[in-house]
Chain A
Amino acid sequence: AQTVTQSQPEMSVQEAETVTLSCTYDTSESDYYLFWYKQPPSRQMILVIRQEAYKQQNATENRFSVNFQKAAKSFSLKISDSQLGDAAMYFCAYTMSGGSNYKLTFGKGTLLTVNP
């Protein structure tokens, strides 16, 4: 079974600084998708960034970027120029490609605090 591990229950960063959130996963599949979701206190899960495993190039969305290391099964999220609005719970998620790929497997999350 696929598992997703987020080893940092909590992280903090100063406003305008850079922070990296860690995520590792376990799978025997060669093709899959990875996602980072943000959950602010409003509870809505907001998609931050996505990565296809077959793409070597790391995904980037404005201040958010990932470091995807397929061999190491690592998928970290880097937030640059952190803003107060980035404070939230961040979840890493995995789904396989094909077959039962409607099912997202989530890590337990990392609570990010942004200090002014």
Chain B
Amino acid sequence: GAGVSQSPSNKVTEKGKDVELRCDPISGHTALYWYRQSLGQGLEFLIYFQGNSAPDKSGLPSDRFSAERTGGSVSTLTIQRTQQEDSAVYLCASSLGRQVTSNQPQHFGDGTRLSIL
């Protein structure tokens, strides 16, 4: 597609359930990023992929969070045993090259709004 695609757009689930969020980056973009946006806050970096490997997972808030990327394309962010504090908008971005520059910025999807009851 023309842009970064995320699904589902909205997800409501009960506390304790597992959820999977999907990101389909712009075709040809080798770098992929996940961010979390809590209510009234800026974006918080979660994880970065270059190809299928994740050299930086430092932003994942706990071991309940994991992510993978396959075929250098689609990525899935999984949250196990969800808690209410996991409620947020999860945004995915992709960029053309290994490093972000002014000519290769990050392009964002519309995000998934996750609500934990």
The interface of chain A, by Cβ under 8 A from chain B, is 4, 33, 35, 37, 42-47, 50-52, 91, 93, 95, 97-98, 100-109
Closest to A47 in B: B105
Instruction: Report chain A residues within 8 Å CB of B102.
Output: 33, 35, 50-52
Contact residue among A43, A46, A101, A103 (Cβ-Cβ distance under 8 Å from B45): A103
* Interface size class of chain B, counting residues whose CB lies under 8 Å from the partner chain: 20 to 34
CA distance A19 to B105 in the complex (A): 25
25 A-B pairs within 8 Å (CB atoms) are namely A4-B42, A33-B100, A33-B102, A37-B108, A42-B110, A44-B109, A44-B111, A46-B108, A50-B105, A51-B102, A91-B43, A97-B101, A98-B99, A100-B56, A101-B99, A102-B50, A102-B98, A102-B100, A103-B48, A104-B43, A104-B100, A106-B42, A106-B44, A107-B42, A108-B42
